[in-house]
Amino acid sequence: MINIKQTLLLITLMLFSYSVLANDVFVALDKLAQSEQAPKVYANKLLDDGFQEIYFEGATFEGKQTRIFAFYKAPEGKGPFPAMVLVHGGGGSAFKEWVDKWNNAGFAAISIATEGQTGYLTGKKQPKWEKNKWGGPRRPGIYNDPERATNNQWMNQSITAAIQAHNLLRSFNEVKKDEIGISGISWGGVITSTVIGFDQRFAFAIPIYGSGFLDTMQNKYGKILSKPTHNYYREIWEPALRIAKFKNPTFWLTGLKENNFSLDAQANTYKLLQGIHYQSIQPTLKHSHKYGWAPKEPYIFARSVLNHKLLPAFYDEKIMNEIVSINVKNIQNNDTENSISSTLYYTNDLGHTLDRKWHEQPVKINTSKNGITLASTLPKTATAWVFNIEANGLIYSSEFSERTTPTAL
């Protein structure tokens, strides 16, 4: 029977072997992200609805070459167009509807399947995604494939698929190769947060819900990833290890009561970035693919990046005598205190942000030539808060702020 010391020794040896093998994988991913060579396309079928059904070269999995399934479509009209790589989350696949959303915003888009499936459902009672016979592994729960070599682990397979989709788009004449962004929903947001640590060619990135620091969350993710057997997540795949390399703009969308990924984990991720980052923490946004791609803000953000237009940005937050204030710049001339609204959301609780009770406070808006200043009462018992402004139907948020030692009244 193996005792505790033997178990810890085995874990140490396993992590050492991971780190050695992982270096080779990282070199390969960095090289792939610097390549201008398009992946091999095994099939490219034009469908009646104008979409292209594509199978392109993915990573090798257990010694066999994989083929990634994707739907691709460009907007009507004459290109070249900016473009998007779209990465689904758990329970999803390649989505035509998501591509359509980006087409309507003026972008060509490719939606990829990252779990060895196609974009077609089979079965009537309990439809499932059709298996791609050339596909790679399915997502093994929450980073639950430590027994696999690093190059065979699902996260490496998914990162490779996203980078290869980027390389494929860059080879299309109808696409502006320097105006390609990436967006992922839920687990796709985790992948996006990881990919941009390797591929800095993306003009911008839009993680939705998902982020890094999953091991710190006080839910099922943290419970699993805090175990010694899952140290390889922190040693190898944690987005925070590399995300600071990405200097281009990012946009982080989530819900105030997001039920999978916590607001603090997302904030700890984007606060590592040196490039400009925007947030939209929406009070009623639920968790799903359709909810995730529905808000207008990501599409407005993408166009603003390409048009070199700045969005409302929060800065210089201060707390004095139970009054919290923050400045907002890049407010349009017509966005005065009469045309925008603002709310302070705060909680007195600790734990996962989903499980906290959230309160609303009215905000006073003062206008100056440099923008606006928001101010509101913040109880001494408040543990976390965020300012929201709404202008022209769009919601923008300050960084999620916390204090772990609130003062009792």
Cβ–Cβ under 8 Å, residues 84 and 182: yes
- Does the pLDDT of residue 125 top 90, yes or no? no
Q: What is the pLDDT of residues 320-350, one digit of tens each?
A: 989 999 999 998 755 455 589 999 999 999 9
- Does 4-306 carry CATH code 3.30.470.10? no
- Token pair of 75, please? 């907007």
Q: What is the pLDDT of residues 239-257, one digit of tens each?
A: 999 999 999 999 999 999 9
Please report the DSSP string for 107-163 in residue order. -EEEEE--SSEEEEEE-SSS-EEEE-TT--PPP-TTT--TTS-GGGSHHHHHHHHHH
pLDDT-based confidence at residue 259 (cuts at 50, 70, 90): very high
Give the Cα separation of 340 and 151 in Å (integer). 49
- What is the model's pLDDT at position 4? 46
Q: Which amino acid is at 332?
A: Q
- Does the pLDDT of residue 26 top 50, yes or no? yes
pLDDT-based confidence at residue 23 (cuts at 50, 70, 90): confident
Sequence-separated (6 or more) residues with CB below 8 Å from residue 360? 343, 344, 345
- What is the model's pLDDT at position 18? 52
Q: What are the angstrom distances between the C-alpha of 183 and each of 30, 54, 322, 349?
A: 20, 19, 38, 31
- Does the pLDDT of residue 167 top 80, yes or no? yes
CA atoms within 13 Å, Cβ hemisphere of 42: 12
- Sign of the Cα torsion 300, 302, 308, 313 reads positive
Percent of the chain with pLDDT over 70: 92
Give the Cα separation of 251 and 249 in Å (integer). 7
Place domain 313-402 in its CATH homologous superfamily. Carbohydrate binding type-21 domain (2.60.40.2440)
- Does the pLDDT of residue 6 top 80, yes or no? no
Domain parsing of the chain, residue ranges: 4-306, 313-402
CATH fold match for the domains 4-306 and 313-402: no
pLDDT-based confidence at residue 20 (cuts at 50, 70, 90): very low
